[in-house]
Amino acid sequence: MQKVLTGNQAVAWGVMCARAQVVSAYPITPQTTIIEEIAELVSSGRLNARFIKVESEHSAMAGCIGASQAGARAFTATSAQGLALMHELIHWAALARLPVVMADVNRAMAPGWTIWTDQNDTLSQRDTGWLQFYCETNQEVLDTILHSFKIAEIIKLPVMVVLDAFFLSHTAEAIDIPAMADCDAFLPPYQGDLIVDVDNPRAFGGMAGTDVYQEFRYLQQEGMDQALQVAVDVDREFRQRFGRSYGLIEKYRCEDAETVLVTSGTITSTARDTIDEWRDRGEAVGLLKMRTFRPFPIEMVREALRGVPKVGVIDRNICPGFGGIWAQEIKAALYDLDEKDRPAVYGFIAGLGGRDVTPITINEILSKTHHPEKTDRHLNWIELKA
Amino acid sequence: MSPEVKGQITYEIPDREIMSSGHLACPGCGAALAMRTCLKIMGPRTVLCVPACCWAVIDGPFPYSSAGVPVVHCAFETAAITATGVRHALDMRGVKDVTVIAWAGDGGTFDIGFGALSATAERNENILYICYDNEAYMNTGIQRSSATPVGAWTTTTPSQHPKEEPKKNLVEIMAAHRIPYAATATVAFPDDLTRKLEKAKAMTGFRLLHIFSPCPPGHKSVESDSIKISRLAVDTNVFPLYEVENGTHYTLSRQSKDVPIKEYVRLQGRFKHLNDQAIAAMQERVNREWKRLLKRIECSE
C-alpha cells in the first residue's frame, strides 16, 4: 500500500508494522506528531498496545525498560532536551541488554531555545551502548524501525532511529507500507529468554562487584561486534522480502573518485544532486552516506575510502574542543590504513541549529575539499556569519 | 479523645516464607522484616521493582537474590514507572494474576522519585507502591531526606544544626491524588500490616503503603529495640496507623495510647542532642498533627 506520510508518521506506522506492545512517551517538539499518530493507531485498535503517557522523558525510558524487562516489545520517541533528560536510563537500557527501540528527531540543544535540527543530541549519546541509524528518507525511517526491532531482539541491545527535524519529521512523501502479514513474517513476536517470570524468579541488575562488571561491558562490546553482521543480514533479508536495502553505509558514485564527501541524514539527498552535477562536468567526486553510527562500521569505511586522496566530512554537529563528530570517527577508522592509502580528511561544520544546507553550501564544501590549498585539515566552519 | 476503632480483627500471618535467609540487611532492620511479612502475604506471584535504596543491597549481589520472587532493580527515581512498565507488559502477555510492587525507600519516594510517583498515581496505574521509610538516606550513610523528622541528627544535619523542617506528609499528598488506597503500617503490628496488604492485594488501581521502618545504624538505636521503637512510633502518635480510601475516606487503624514522645525519642541516638524544650516542641507538633488527623477521620464519617 502506498501512502503519503511525514517522517514522523512513518515512525508511527513502522511501530504499528512492528506490533510494539508498550509505548511509553512524553511530548516534545518536533517529535510530537509521532506520539499523536501512535495515540490514534492505538485508540483505533490498529495497534494493539499500551500507551503510557508519562510525565517526563526520564520516565518514558524507564517505562520502556520495565516493559522490555517483562517481555514486551517497547518503543519510545523523543528529541534533544528529552533525550538528554533520559541519559541515565539510556545507559541503563543498554547495560540491561534490553531491545528497546527509540526514534529521535534530531533537534539542536538549548540554549537558545531552538526546535530546528542538528545531531548533537544523538551523537552525544555515543557511549551509551545503543545502536544508531541515521535516515535519509521517510521510507528509510519506516523500514529502519522494522530493521531495528529485529536487530535489537537478536543482539539484545537497544536501537536509536534518527531523523532530521522538519526536513524529514514534518515533510511528506509517498512511501510503501508493507503488508502486516509480511511484517509478521519478517519480525515474529518478541520472545525474550531473560525476562520477568514469577515461575522462574530472577533478580535483574543487582549489585555487580569488581569481579563481574568488566565482563558485563565485554559482553556488551561483543554484542556490538555481532550487530555489524546482524544488521547486514537483516538488511539482506529485508531486501529479499520487500525489495529495498540500505546497507550500513552507502557508496554513491565513488568509482575512481579523487574526492569523496561523507554525509549523514537529509544532507545526503542534497549532496547526491551536487555530486551528480560535478560528475556531469567530468569531475571525479563521490559520496559516502553514513547510515550507521554505532556500531561504527570501521572496516566498511576503510574499504570505501581506501586510496581516496581527499575526503570531506560534513558535520551537522560540533564536539566543542575537538571538531566535527563524524570527522573524528572517520579519521579514527582510517588511521590504521597504510600511509599511501590514507586519505586527507577535511572537517566541515555546517547547518547547526537547523540552518539550511543548500546545494550552494555543499558546492562550497566540495570545492574546499577538491581544491584544499586553503582548507584547514581539521576544522572548517561553513557559511559562518561575521 | 480518639474515635473508636471498629471491627478490629486479628489476622493470621501465613507460615510460608518466600524471602530466604542470607540477605544482607543489618541486624534489627525494619525493612527486612517488612519485606518478609509482605511476601508472606503477597505470595510467590509477585514482582518487585526496587530502585537504589537499602533493599538494592539487602537482596544480595549478582547473581544472588534473597527475595524469592523476580526483582527488577531500577534507577533511583523510577520505581513507580518501572513497575508500571512491568505491569503493562505482563498485561499484554496475558499474565493477570501477578501483583507488581514498587518497593522503595524514603529517598526514592519522598525526594528523587516523587515526580514519577505522583504521575503514576495520577494515572491510577495498577500497581502497589510500598515505601519503607527509615527517615533518611541510610544506604549512602544517613543523609537527611524530606522524610527525616524535625530535630533529627543526620550526617548532613549535624547535631549543632539538626533538621529544622518537619517531615513531608506522604499519605496526605498521595490521598490528594484520590487514589483508591493509601495506608500507613509498621512492622510492630504485623496483623495490621497483613490486613492492609491483603486489602491492597485485592484492589486494582494505584495503592500505596507507607511502612515506618526502624534503622539501628541510622537511628542510632539498639538492634533489639526495633520493634519497640516502631510500636512507640504508633503509640506516641508520631506515626499513626490509618487508611485513606479514594483519597477522602480516612479510617484510624489503632487507638492512640497517647504515650509521651519522650519515650520514643530517648531510645534513638539521632535525637540525643535535644533538650527538654525541643522535645516539648516536638510533642506539641505531634499533638497538632494528631488532632488534624482526627478531624479528617471525623469529616470522613
A157 and A254 co-located in one domain: no
Burial A254-278 (b: 16+ CB within 10 A, else e): beebebbbbbbbbbbebbbebbeeb
Pair B157, B203: CB distance under 8 Å: no
A63·B84 Cβ contact <8 A: yes
Instruction: Collect all residues of chain B within an 8 Å Cβ-Cβ radius of residue A22.
Output: 85, 88-89, 92
Q: Which domain holds residue A124?
A: 2-242
Distance from CA of B190 to the nearest CA of A (A): 25
Tell me whether residue B216 is in a domain.
yes
Residues A67 and A215 in one domain: yes
> Both A190 and A305 in a single domain?
no
Q: Does A269 share its domain with A218?
A: no
Give the minimum alpha-carbon distance from A200 to chain B in angstroms, rounded to a whole number: 8
Give B71's contacts in chain A (Cβ within 8 Å): 201-204, 206
Interface contact A54, partner B, CB < 8 A: yes
Return the CATH number at A278: 3.40.50.920
Domain boundary among A173, A207, A242: A242
Nearest Cα of chain A lies from the Cα of B6 at a distance, in angstroms, of 37
Sheet with A292-294: strands ordered across: A50-53, A22-25, A74-78, A101-106, A159-164, A131-134, A292-294
**Chain pair A-B, CB pairs under 8 angstroms:** 162
pLDDT the model gives residue B44: 98
Domain count, chain B: 1
Answer whether B25 touches A (CB < 8 Å).
no
* CATH code of residue A204: 3.40.50.970
CB-CB contact of A139 with A244 (8 Å): yes
Provide, as residue numbers in chain B, all residues whose Cβ is less than 8 Å from the Cβ of A89.
75, 78
Q: Does B58 touch chain A (CB under 8 A)?
A: no
Residues A232 and A279 in one domain: no
B86 and A69 in contact by Cβ < 8 A? yes
Chain B interface, best mutation among A76, A88, A196, A212, by max B CB count within 10 A: A196
- List A204's β-bridge partners, or say none: B72
In a domain, B14, yes or no: no
Residue-level pLDDT at B13: 86
The nearest CA of chain A is from the CA of B100 a distance in Å of: 11
Instruction: Say if B124 is an interface residue toward chain A (CB within 8 Å).
Output: no
Is there a contact between B78 and A24 if contact means CB atoms under 8 Å apart? no
Question: Which residues does chain A have within 8 Å of residue B64's beta carbon, measured at their own beta carbons?
Answer: 203, 206
Of the partner residues A59, A65, A74, the one whose CB lies closest to the CB of residue B119? A59
B130 in a domain, yes or no?
yes
Collapsing DSSP to helix, strand or coil, A347 comes out as: strand
Determine, for residues A70 and B86 on separate chains, whether the beta-carbon distance falls below 8 Å. Answer: yes
User: Looking at residue B276, what is its pLDDT?
Assistant: 97
HSE-CB of B228 using CA atoms within 13 angstroms: 12
Cβ contacts (< 8 Å) between A207 and chain B: which residues?
56-57, 60-62
Chain B, window 148-207: residues with a beta carbon less than 8 angstroms from a chain A beta carbon = none
- Cell for A357? 544546507
- The chain A residue lying nearest B24, using CA atoms, is A207
Q: Which residues of A touch B56 (CB under 8 A)?
A: 206-207
Contacts of B49 in chain A (CB under 8 A): 66
Decide the pairing of beta strands B207-212 and B242-245.
unpaired
Q: Are residues A133 and A213 located together in one domain of the fold?
A: yes
Are the beta carbons of B88 and A72 separated by less than 8 Å? yes
Q: What is the pLDDT of residue B122?
A: 98
In a domain? residue B19: no
With contacts defined as CB-CB under 8 Å, which chain A residues touch B90? 70-71, 196
ipTM over 0.95: yes
**A63–B81 CB contact, under 8 Å:** yes
Q: Does A55 sit within 8 Å of B65, measured CB to CB?
A: no
Residues A64, B85: C-beta atoms closer than 8 Å: yes
Q: CB–CB of A158/A61 below 8 Å? A: no
- Tell me whether residue B18 is in a domain: no
Please report whether residue B51 resides in a domain.
yes
**Are A295 and A192 part of one and the same domain?**
no
Q: Along chain B (301 residues), what's the average pLDDT of each consecutive run of 10 residues?
A: 58 90 96 97 98 97 96 98 98 97 98 98 98 97 98 97 96 98 97 96 98 98 98 98 97 95 98 97 97 95 63
Are A266 and A368 in the same domain? Answer: yes
Of A357, A359, A335, residue with least CA distance to A348: A357
Which residues of chain A are within 8 Å of residue B77 when distances are taken between CB atoms? 58
Whether a cis peptide bond, with omega within 30° of 0, leads into B3 is: no
CA-nearest residue to B99 within chain A is A198
Cβ under 8 Å to A: B residues 66-105:
67-75, 77-78, 81-93, 95, 98
In a domain, A107, yes or no: yes
Q: Which of A242, A263, A290 is the last residue before a domain boundary?
A: A242
Q: Is B119's CB within 8 Å of A55's CB?
A: yes
- Do A7 and A118 have their domain in common? yes
> Does residue A269 belong to any structural domain of this protein?
yes
Q: Are A56 and A162 in a shared domain? A: yes
Which residues in B lie closer than 8 A to residue A204 (C-beta atoms)?
A: 70-73
Contacts for B134 with CB less than 8 Å, ≥ 6 apart: B30, B31, B54, B105, B106, B213, B214, B215, B218, B219
Q: Which member of A52, A58, A66 has the closest CB to residue B72?
A: A66
For residue B134, the distance in angstroms to the closest alpha carbon of chain A comes to 21
Out of B61, B84, B116, closest to residue A207 by CB:
B61
| Interface residue B61 vs chain A (CB under 8 A) | yes
Q: Indicate the SS3 state at residue A273.
A: helix
Pairing mode, strands B99-105 and B71-73: unpaired
Indicate the residue among A194, A216, A242 that finishes a domain. A242
Q: Which residues of chain A have pLDDT under 70?
A: none
Indicate yes or no: CB of B81 within 8 angstroms of CB of A64: no
pLDDT in tens, A64-75: 999 999 999 999
> Is A386 a domain residue?
no
A66 lies in a domain? yes
CB nearest A201 (choices: B70, B84, B116): B70
CATH number at residue B161: 3.40.50.970
Please count the structural domains in chain A. 2
Same domain? For A291 and A152 the reply is: no
- Radius of gyration (C-alpha) of chain B in whole angstroms: 18
In a domain, A202, yes or no: yes
A212 touching chain B per CB within 8 A: yes
User: Residue B112 has what pLDDT?
Assistant: 98
| Partner-chain residue, chosen from B73, B88, B89, that has the shortest CB–CB distance to A203 | B73
Select from B64, B75, B89 the Cβ nearest to the Cβ of A71: B89
Residues A274 and A173 in one domain: no
Q: Is residue B38 included in any domain, yes or no?
A: yes
Q: Is residue B91 assigned to a domain?
A: yes
The Cα-based distances of B206 to A49, A181, A336, B85 in angstroms read: 20, 38, 58, 14
Among A271, A326, A317, CA closest to A118: A317
Tell me which residue range forms the domain holding B255: 30-300
Output the furthest CA–CA distance in chain B (Å, rounded): 59
